[in-house]
Chains A and B, each alone.
Chain A
């Protein structure tokens, strides 16, 4: 093999953005033929709002998946975080910062628990995070029948509804979090080590990486991202909502977005940029189908097909690479 046959390591544009562009183009056309308008102000804004919520969770999910783990507790962390935030604020603008801080700390605590179960106790990530999720579910179901607390009006106005042009502040928050995550992955030792742990834990260990510490950190960050999504949802809804996470299917949807975005479910390959592409793709499909007033159940079928197709395409690519 000569050096000439080697492609530079720079990743090409993740395939998900090609799919996203195609989806938007086709969607735009179909909606137009249907007599509607895909990119009017209100549809664009609501698309970006949907993307912001899911995106915050999915970026965090990307971190744990890159490290070869998984987090199924995010949906409950979101619900918990809305309640912690809204109840602490209790409608008072003065309590915004402490409330946000407390919600993030509580979320981080859940992440720490997940991380310790996965590393120290060697519980399979699927089971560990599912178990922690059910634990939170028990607490939420027991303590709450419906919305509780009240989000501070200033937060509702800013994070919940304020926009810069058609772009909601919450989406800008997603961009900031994504940029931070991207930076951490490519420019910090933590990021390099995380990808190594996911790629091959044994290689990482033998190279001096402290696998457990890295993975616990990733779990904490993942839960904090979910907590942030909860704070955003609380500011959207104006109160804490004990079932918002599960009803929004944030656990499975975030994993789907990560996978559609090209991150290997087994870890070691991928990144947050692709994940945001996956989130936008899922949100766009939502928006298009809403415009076309497609049956909700049929919508689910299409989403399922897209997720499977994405994974199949990546699997084929991986096979070609290996050959």
Chain B
């Protein structure tokens, strides 16, 4: 670790935080000096967001101290932190699209003259503020909803500066920006630095981190791995710090090469708003793992195949026949099933019974009357087969554990006898026992001839389950890796330090 600069703006010492007994942060030390860009990197789930929320007053730490501008602080909430001079720019903007730039910038502390909002003064001050960060083309009286994402980000920054922020947290600021907009952000960050504002810059993208930061802190599994001077490190070294943990869990045996069947699903140059030129083949009998960072297009890929936001360009063939998967309904009829990432929001109907949840897809796709009894019998069998525990079929599903809910969702899809299964984070938020049950089930389905596509942020799971791994980045396929690839290889492709050539896969 390098020496901290003489007068830090922010000093964190021994920060720890647990949620429901799960330790998400442990003994984090970190400093930010005025005018410094301090980058925080780490895999999904490394604890970056939690740490940022602690700094910005969203959570209070269970252990450790936060010192800001030389004084120990415990922020009572985001507003308290703002008042003290800590601003945060979230990935999702906190702006009112129906109001003007000036109204947004001064929301909550509108300048007042003789008891009335000084609209002219508010516009003038907003213009000055924008000019001070080099933004002269953005009209202060434009409606925020009409602005592009990059300009909205500028408004967010101006809003923080209007509160005299001395420390600004940027959480994945480039995630929503187009390439040329990233350059603008760089300029903005440098001007903020010149004003002596300290920046905590959270990003997955190592290229940016190297361009902007002076120091980098690497988090892994809630702990600080190291803090390094940017000039003294390399991308490869960072990636090694970000990953590298023992592969200890048990995973079912992979498919033998002879078990892999013909190509079921073939995407050629497929794309839509979030994806471009995706070429991908999914074979019967295999589990194809999809790796990549959040927002890299993994879920967008599954949602495109399932017809939620369909492909708009390229060709899709299913068993060598061209298909257009326009809606989830057409996808289901073509034999595709999709277990979503957001189980609570999109996977289950919380107040319906286990049985109703399991019958949801069958009821939607098949004619209303015919074979209703037979279907119910089959779904009951499936619920037994996937070993839903601790509940009768008539219990409301919301009372089940996450793992059991997921099994019900699986039963729902299995009732349709799908030939292609898309799993998006199938074991997120699920206890260990249910997790390995789901792993076994996924493998069994592949062995019985289904083609399985599995998205996972859990690298050991991705490596342990997949027969091949395709890594996504920025909406396209960054590369493909065979079974037995390492975590470093996946992360290198995902963050873009490896060259984009796929290692040859045994097909």
Determine if B96 is an interface residue (Cβ-Cβ < 8 Å): yes
Which residues of A sit under 8 angstroms from B147, Cβ to Cβ?
1, 6
**Interface residue ranges of B59-82 to A (CB < 8 Å):** 78-79, 82
- A196: B residues at CB distance < 8 A: 96, 99, 107-108
B116 touches A2 (CB 8 A): no
**Which candidate, A25-33, A153-161, A199-207, A253-261, is the interface stretch facing chain B?**
A199-207
Q: What is the 8 Å Cβ interface bit string for chain B, positions 122-160, against chain A (1 contact, 0 not)?
A: 000000000000000111011101111001000000010
B281 in contact (CB, < 8 A): no
Which of B82, B108, B119, B151 touches A209 (beta carbons < 8 Å)? B108
Chain B CB within 8 A of A3 CB: yes
CA distance A187 to B108 in the complex (A): 14
B174 proximity list for chain A (CB < 8 A)? none
CB distance from A6 to the nearest CB of B (A): 5
Residue B229 CB within 8 A of the other chain: no
Check A8/B142 contact, CB under 8 A, given A204-B107, A208-B82: yes
CA distance A108 to B100 in the complex (A): 32
Q: Check if B148 sits within 8 Å of A1, measured CB to CB.
A: yes
Complex alpha-carbon distance, A205 and B138, angstroms: 26
Q: Would you call A150 an interface residue if the criterion is a C-beta within 8 Å of the partner chain's C-beta atoms?
A: no
Q: Which residues of A contact B141 (CB under 8 A)?
A: 8-10
Closest to B109 in A: A208
Residue numbers in B under 8 Å from A3 (CB-CB) = 137-139, 142
Task: Identify which of A186, A187, A209, A269 contacts B107 (C-beta below 8 A).
Answer: A209
CA A6 to CA B139, docked complex, whole Å: 8
**In the assembly, what is the distance between CA of A86 and CA of B119, in Å?**
43
Which chain A residues in 258-284 approach chain B with CB under 8 Å? 268-269
Partner pick for B145 among A10, A202, A209, A321, CB 8 A cutoff: A321
Residue among A9, A10, A196, A269 facing the most chain B CB atoms (10 A cut-off)? A9
Interface pair A207/B108, CB less than 8 Å apart = yes
Contact of A188 among B83, B107, B117, B159 (CB under 8 A): B117
The reply to whether B79 and A9 contact each other, CB–CB distance below 8 Å, is no
Task: Please state if B78 and A6 are interface contacts (CB–CB under 8 Å).
Answer: no
Instruction: Given A187-B116, A188-B116, A206-B79, decide whether A7 and B109 contact each other with a Cβ distance below 8 A.
Output: no
- Given the interface contacts A192-B107, A196-B96, does A206 sit within 8 Å of B142 by beta carbon? no
**Interface readout for B431-466 with A: 1 if CB under 8 Å, 0 if not?**
000000000000000000000000000000000000
A203-B143 Cα distance, complex, nearest whole Å: 16
Which residue from A187, A199, A203 sits with its C-beta under 8 Å from B117? A187
Q: How far is the CA of A199 from the CA of B248 in the complex (A)?
A: 49
Query: Does B176 touch A at the CB level, under 8 Å?
Result: no
Structural contact, B139 and A268, CB atoms closer than 8 A? no
**Given the complex of chains A and B, what is the CA–CA distance between A196 and B145 in angstroms?**
14
A193 within 8 A of B: yes
Query: With a CB–CB cut-off of 8 A, which chain B residues contact A193?
Result: 107-108
In the complex, A209 Cα to B95 Cα: how many Å? 13
Q: What's the least CB distance linking A214 to chain B, in Å?
A: 11
Residues of chain A within 8 A of B103, CB atoms compared: 192
| Cα distance A207–B138 in the bound complex, in angstroms | 22
Is residue B112 within 8 Å, beta carbon to beta carbon, of the partner chain? yes
- A209 to B96 alpha-carbon distance, docked (Å): 13
Bound-state CA distance A9–B109 (Å) is 20
Most-contacted residue by chain B among A8, A191, A193 (CB, 10 A): A8
- Partner of A9 from B78, B95, B143, B148 at Cβ < 8 Å: B143
Interface size counted on chain B using CB atoms at 8 A: 33
Taking CB atoms, residues of chain B closer than 8 Å to A8 are 139, 141-142
**Is B312 in the interface zone, CB < 8 Å from A?**
no
The reply on B253 being an interface residue by CB < 8 A is no
Given contact pairs A8-B142, A189-B117, A321-B145, A207 touches B151 in the complex (Cβ within 8 A): no
Is B387 on the interface with A (CB-CB < 8 A)?
A: no
Closest-CB distance, A260 to chain B (whole angstroms): 18
State the CA gap A268–B110 with chains docked (Å): 17
B98 in contact (CB, < 8 A) = yes
Contact assessment for A203 and B94 in the assembled complex, using a CB-CB cutoff below 8 Å = yes
Give the docked Cα–Cα distance between A188 and B115 (Å).
Answer: 7
**Which residues from 179 to 222 on chain A have a C-beta closer than 8 Å to any C-beta of chain B?**
186-189, 191-193, 195-196, 199-200, 202-209
CB neighbours (8 Å) of B82 from chain A are: 206, 208
Q: Is the CB of B139 within 8 A of A199?
A: no
CB of A186, distance to nearest CB on chain B (Å): 8
CB distance from A118 to the nearest CB of B (A): 21
Bound complex: CA of A236 vs CA of B15, how far in Å? 70
Interface residues of B in 87-118 (CB under 8 A from A): 94-100, 103, 107-110, 112, 115-117
Residue of A205, A206, A269 ringed by the most chain B CB atoms within 10 A: A206
Given A196-B107, A199-B99, A203-B94, decide whether A9 and B142 contact each other with a Cβ distance below 8 A. Answer: yes
Chain B contacts with A in 243-267, Cβ cutoff 8 A: none
Beta-carbon contact of B99 and A189 below 8 Å? no
Nearest CB on A from B272, distance (A): 15
Please, which residue of chain B has its CB at the minimum distance from the CB of A264? B98
A206 to B103, CA, bound (A): 15
Q: Which residues on the B side are within 8 Å of A188 (C-beta)?
A: 115-117
| Bound-complex Cα distance A205 to B151 (A) | 23
Which residues from B are CB-within-8-Å of A9? 100, 141-143
| Chain B residues whose C-beta falls within 8 Å of the C-beta of A189 in the assembled complex | 110, 112, 117
B151, A1: Cβ atoms under 8 Å?
Answer: yes
Q: Which of A2, A10, A199, A204 has the most CB of B within 10 A?
A: A199
| Other-chain residue from A187, A204, A208, A269 in contact with B98 (beta carbon distance below 8 A) | A269
Chain A residues with CB under 8 A of B95: 203
For residue B114, give the distance in angstroms from its CB to the closest CB of chain A.
10
A195 CA to B137 CA, complexed, in Å: 27
Judging by beta carbons under 8 Å apart, are B79 and A203 in contact?
no
Chain B residues 191 to 229 lying within 8 A of chain A, measured CB to CB, are none
In the complex, what's the smallest C-beta–C-beta distance from A206 to chain B, in angstroms?
A: 5
Q: How far is the CA of A199 from the CA of B99 in the complex (A)?
A: 9
Q: Report the minimal beta-carbon distance from A321 to chain B, rounded to whole angstroms.
A: 6
Cα distance, A225 to B409, chains bound together (Å): 52
Residues of A contacting B117 with CB < 8 Å? 186-189, 191-192
Query: Which of B107, B139, B146 is A207 in contact with, Cβ under 8 Å?
Result: B107
Binary B-proximity of A137-179 (CB < 8 A = 1, otherwise 0): 0000000000000000000000000000000000000000000
Question: Which residues on the A side are within 8 Å of B110 (C-beta)?
Answer: 189, 192
Complex Cα distance A204/B94, Å? 9
Q: How far is the CA of A209 from the CA of B107 in the complex (A)?
A: 8
Q: Which residues of B contact A209 (CB under 8 A)?
A: 107-108
Please report the C-alpha to C-alpha distance between residue A204 and residue B117 in the assembled complex, in whole angstroms.
17
A269 CA to B98 CA, complexed, in Å: 6
Are A6 and B146 also in contact (CB < 8 A) when A192-B110, A199-B98, A203-B95 are?
yes
> Which partner residue on chain A sits nearest B137 by CB separation?
A3
Tell me how far the C-beta of B199 lies from the nearest C-beta in chain A, rounded to whole angstroms. 20
Closest to A190 in B: B117
Interface contacts beyond A3-B139, A196-B99: sample of 4 additional A-B pairs, CB < 8 Å, sorted by A: A8-B139, A186-B117, A199-B99, A206-B78
9 cross-chain pairs, A with B, having the tightest CB-CB distances, nearest first: A208-B108, A207-B108, A199-B96, A207-B107, A1-B148, A3-B137, A269-B98, A9-B100, A6-B142
A sample of 8 inter-chain contacts (CB < 8 A) reads: A9-B100, A189-B117, A195-B96, A195-B98, A196-B108, A200-B94, A203-B94, A204-B107
Q: Which residues of B contact A (CB under 8 A)?
A: 78-79, 82-83, 94-100, 103, 107-110, 112, 115-117, 119, 137-139, 141-143, 145-148, 151, 159
Binding site for B on A (CB under 8 A): 1-3, 6-10, 186-189, 191-193, 195-196, 199-200, 202-209, 268-269, 321
